[in-house]
Amino acid sequence: DVKVTQSSRYLVKRTGEKVFLECVQDMDHENMFWYRQDPGLGLRLIYFSYDVKMKEKGDIPEGYSVSREKKERFSLILESASTNQTSMYLCASRTTSSYEQYFGPGTRLTVT
């Protein structure tokens, strides 16, 4: 079974703090993704990566950056957290040959 894990289920941070969200997958998938999910807006793509050290902007990259130093790990960084970044963050991965994405359990981030 594919397993995607995220470092925290719940996180509370203060405005202006630097926040790191980590994601690890164990199936040697080339592609990894970070989404945020908000009521009424669905899942929106923040950043994705096709390979180690590769990154591409998604639909809403402003205020975020990412890092992929190893194939299995994809980190999302909030350089200076703001209250409008309070959300559920979901990591996903997939192989190049399939469009089935496997999601992690999510991190609910609250910025106060």
Partner 1 sequence: RKEVEQDPGPFNVPEGATVAFNCTYSNSASQSFFWYRQDCRKEPKLLMSVYSSGNEDGRFTAQLNRASQYISLLIRDSKLSDSATYLCVVLRGGSARQLTFGSGTQLTVLP
The residue type at 61: P
Cβ atoms of 70 and 93 closer than 8 Å = no
Contacts (CB under 8 A) with partner 1, residues 59-88: none
Q: Is residue 41 a contact point for partner 1 (CB under 8 A)?
A: yes
Select 15 or 51, whichever has its Cβ closest to partner 1: 51
Distance CA 69, CA 78 (A): 17
Select 24 or 106, whichever has its Cβ closest to partner 1: 106
Residue with token string 């923040």: 46
Residue with token string 């594919």: 2
Q: Is residue 99 a contact point for partner 1 (CB under 8 A)?
A: yes
Q: Is residue 43 a contact point for partner 1 (CB under 8 A)?
A: yes
84 DSSP 8-state letter: G
Cβ atoms of 4 and 104 closer than 8 Å = yes
In whole angstroms, the minimum distance from the beta carbon of 37 to partner 1 comes to 9
Q: Which residues bind partner 1 (CB under 8 A)?
A: 35, 40-43, 45, 48, 58, 90, 99-101, 103-106
